[in-house]
């Protein structure tokens, strides 16, 4: 059964309980995903490290490694270690623990505000979101996902985020396609003005479809019963402020699939300008008889 989590529930997950200066406790939704969703770990880690950084510094870089599946029935401890506090930059390390074992580690860099000349890449030409089909409409049109393999069902996210695209592919049997994808996205209700919350929820969304896009040339989706897909690492660079409750466009391209590992990279645009870049490597195994 798919649990209907609300945006308020999601924001509440980001309000980690502070146990000590550099120690926080967090939870997962009660059902809806078979294991802790990687984007949730990213978002909660952004909040833990952001609340541990000194001053009004801006998170500009995050790199994380997914080590073990997270158990949605158990709390997680977020342990922070300050690595360096400089005049312009702060570096923090993080470990997320369950049963005294790390399930996720990350490092992040924060920068004091600086002014400079700047330029940013412009987004590709795409139709406006209102002209495109939503993911809910697409899935209703193509029918049941009964053949899914127990991975996160896309319907879990529908109460939280709205996504629209001109290029939806079936998550079980998409057919062989070039490793390219893109979608508009926004959180479904206003989030307030805390920039760290917006960065955390951008990280939450950023885990979607990177590996699915890298799998497109193989013709089998991440929900196919013969597929085994899992994130191994995830990198984000935050170039400029973003509002996760306003439309942004996520442009994704698969770079390679070698040794049952796939690499995806993405660019996130808002108001026509680049605001974040992502990269992710993941495990992409497919039962040989389905190849």
The catalytic residue positions are 207, 231, 280
Q: Give yes or no for a contact between 180 and 252, defined as CB atoms under 8 angstroms apart.
A: yes
Which residues pair with residue 94 across a beta bridge?
Answer: 80, 106
Report strand pairing: 17-20 vs 23-26.
Answer: antiparallel
User: DSSP letter string over 240-262?
Assistant: S---TTS-EEEEEEEEEEETTEE
Cα separation, 84 vs 118, whole angstroms: 27
């Amino acid at each position: 059964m798919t649990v209907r989590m609300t945006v308020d529930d999601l924001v509440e997950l980001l309000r980690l309980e502070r146990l000590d200066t550099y120690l926080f406790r967090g939870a997962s939704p009660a059902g809806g995903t078979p294991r802790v969703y990687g984007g949730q770990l990213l978002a909660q880690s952004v909040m833990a490290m952001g609340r541990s950084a000194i001053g009004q510094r801006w998170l500009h870089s995050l790199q994380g490694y997914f080590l073990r599946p997270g158990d949605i029935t158990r709390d997680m401890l977020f342990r922070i270690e300050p690595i360096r506090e400089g005049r312009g930059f702060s570096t923090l390390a993080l470990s997320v623990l369950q049963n005294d074992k790390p399930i996720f580690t990350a490092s992040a860099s924060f920068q004091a505000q600086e002014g400079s000349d700047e330029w940013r890449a412009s987004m590709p030409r795409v139709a406006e979101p209102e002209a495109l089909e939503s993911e809910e409409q697409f899935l209703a049109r193509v029918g049941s996902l009964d053949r899914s393999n127990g991975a996160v069902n896309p319907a879990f996210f529908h109460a939280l985020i709205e996504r629209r695209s001109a290029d939806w592919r079936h998550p079980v049997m998409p057919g062989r396609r070039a490793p390219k994808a893109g979608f508009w996205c926004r959180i479904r209700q206003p989030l307030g003005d805390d920039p760290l919350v917006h960065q955390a929820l951008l990280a939450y969304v950023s885990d979607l479809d990177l590996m699915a896009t890298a799998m497109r040339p193989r013709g089998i989706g991440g929900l196919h019963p013969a597929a085994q897909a899992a994130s191994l690492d995830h990198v984000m660079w935050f170039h400029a402020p973003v509002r996760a409750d306003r439309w942004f466009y996520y442009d994704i391209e698969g770079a390679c699939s070698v040794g049952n590992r796939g690499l995806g990279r993405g660019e996130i645009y808002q108001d026509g300008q680049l605001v974040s870049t992502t990269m992710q490597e993941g495990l992409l195994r497919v039962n040989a008889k389905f190849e």
